[in-house]
Each structure stands twice: as structure tokens, then as C-alpha cells.
Amino acid sequence: MSASTSTKRKNTMAFNVRVLLLQRVLLILIMYIVTISGPKLSACAKSFTIANYCKETIWPGITHNENFSGGGFALKPGQSAVYTAPPGWNGRIWGRTGCNFDKNGNGKCQTGGCGDTINCTGPGSPPATIADFTLGDTDFYDVSLVDGFNLPIVVKPLNGGKGNCSTAGCDGDLRQSCPSELQAKSDGKVIACRSACEVFNTDEYCCRGNYGNPVACLPTNYSKAFKQFCPAAYSFAYDDPTSVITCSGADFSLTFCASRNQTVCSYHNQTLGCNGAKSLQIHSQRWWGIVFLALLPLMLTLF
């Protein structure tokens, strides 16, 4: 065998080894991309970071469709908790106030009560500020004052998201400007602002009977006042066009008694997400680009 033939064979073998290594590197990269891409957004669980910035302890109420078994914990001022909702979850989250439970978890709340135990056994009782969620390929959410107002609630997407993804809710305290006829009091203190439907119980205020459609049920002076004070909240039954927000691919933060600009961070699915602080967000789906750039010099040296 000539020296040139031997050299060519060695070069061919070396080239084949480099090609094999490159194929393995690309295969690993493709497998990584597929892994982090994960299933469709609608098939993923969503986390809700619930934070209490009020000066009082609150007891979150959480219900899923007709399943009234959520909540069951207290949040002292400054505390937060993470609730993980299953795919396709439809539910409500709100705050209960003035609760007094014994060691067995039995008791009552002044506002937002959902039964006689710390775990909800029924829907939240008005008056209460309610955050509504319908999760799917596109998530729908709003903060509703239809059942009255007991606490400021602000809902924001975490981890970016696609779509409108704006802030819902009200960071002002409507109790301070509540009309006297709607005030709910305890020991002379206004603890909530009731809805006109709850107080007057008429078809016009409750959007029922002949008023049970968006043409007949129009904003009243009370719902207009609610809307003026809380423009990013749902003020009456047919307030959908301006109050229901859509977003895809985000987790959520829900804060009580916090500013709309309050930053809340949560760690979920190996991703640190913060609302209102995009520089702190980590989007794992972009890591594949970083990995590719890191491996590019290695792949080039193989040739």
C-alpha cells in the first residue's frame, strides 16, 4: 500500500468520525429542543402566585366549576402561596376577610365566606371581589365587582405570554368611596361595598327577567361609579367587551391590596417569572438558541 493511499484512508476515517460526532451533537440538540418545547399550552398546568399585601390576614377562596373545595389556608400580611391549576381549569379566586376558625377549621368570615369551614364548601358569598379564570389554548380572565367589593385584587400574567395579557383588577379601595346605601359595616367600619343587585334585588340591577340580555341591561349609576373607580374590572353582568382579557402561555400572579406596578416573582417549571420586571424573566424555550451558539464553534472545528 502506497503512502498516499494510506494517508487518504486515514483522512477518510477521520472525516467519517467527525461526521458521526456532528450527527450526535445535532441529535442531542434536536432532542433537547423537543423536550423543552413540551406539550401544547392548553395541556399544561398553570400556577397562580397569590400574595397578600393587605394589613390584615386573608383566607383565599378557590373554586373549580362546581367543585367547592378550594382554599383552606390563611395568608398573613406579606405572605404568598402558589396554587397549581390543572389543564382546562375554570374557576374563581377571591379573598375572605374577618374570619374566625377554631382548631378544627370550623367558623365563619365577615366577607367572602364559602361555608362554615376553612375549606370552601360553597361559592363565595357577596360582597366579594372575584377573579375569574377560564384556561385553555387561550386563557380568559377578569376581576369582577358584580358581587360587590371587599378587597383590592390585581391579576397579572407571569412569564410573558402571548396576546393581550394586560392587567386586570382594581388596586384602589372602593370601600373608601362606597355609597352609603351599599356599605356593609362591622362595628361602624365599612368592611365591603355591596352590589346594587344585592341591596335592591330588582331585575334591572340584577340583569334578569326582561333585563337578562345585553341590549336591555345597561350600566346603572352604581356600576358606572364602580367602573370609574376600577376601569380594569368587570362592573356589571354585560361588561365583557372592556373587562375580559385574553392571554396564552402564561402563569398568573394575583395580589391583594397591591399596586398595579407591584412586582411578584414565582419559580415554576424551572422558570423564574416576574410580572412587571421583564429583565428578570427566564424563558426556557429560548435556551436552545444559546445552546446552538455554544456548540457552533465545536461543530466547525470538526471540519
54 with 134, same domain: the answer is yes
170 with 105, same domain: the answer is yes
pTM check: above 0.95: no
Q: Provide the 3-class DSSP secondary structure of residue 254.
A: strand
What was the pLDDT predicted at 17? Answer: 53
Residue 181 resides in a domain: yes
Determine the structural domain holding residue 16 and report its residue range. 3-37+286-301
Residue 274 resides in a domain: no
31 with 140, same domain: the answer is no
CA dist., res. 224 & res. 205, Å (int):
12
User: Above 90 in pLDDT, residue 11?
Assistant: no
27 with 145, same domain: the answer is no
Q: Quick one: pLDDT band at residue 259, thresholds 50, 70, 90? A: confident
Q: What is the pLDDT of residues 34-86, one digit of tens each?
A: 444 444 444 578 899 999 999 999 999 998 865 555 668 999 999 999 999 98
Residue 277 resides in a domain: no
Query: Is 173 buried (19+), middle (13-18) or exposed (0-12) by CB count in 10 A?
Result: middle
Count of Cβ atoms closer than 10 Å to residue 162 Cβ: 13
Instruction: Give the chain's domain count.
Output: 2
Residue 142 resides in a domain: yes
| H helix runs in the chain, sequence order | 3-37, 196-200, 203-206, 221-229, 240-243, 287-301
164 alpha carbon, distance to own chain's centre:
14
The answer to whether 75 and 60 are in contact (CB under 8 A) is yes
Q: What is the pLDDT of residues 267-303, one digit of tens each?
A: 555 455 565 543 333 333 343 444 444 455 555 555 5
Residue 138 resides in a domain: yes
Residue 188 resides in a domain: yes
Average pLDDT, the chain: 81
158 with 199, same domain: the answer is yes
CA dist., res. 282 & res. 112, Å (int):
36
| Cell numbers found for residue 217 | 341591561
66 with 117, same domain: the answer is yes
183 with 229, same domain: the answer is yes
What was the pLDDT predicted at 51? Answer: 96
23 with 125, same domain: the answer is no
Cβ neighbours of residue 29 under 8 Å, at least 6 residues apart? 288, 291, 292, 295
CATH number, position 74: 2.60.110.10
Residue 108 resides in a domain: yes
Q: What is the pLDDT of residues 95-121, one digit of tens each?
A: 999 999 999 999 999 999 999 999 998
223 with 123, same domain: the answer is yes
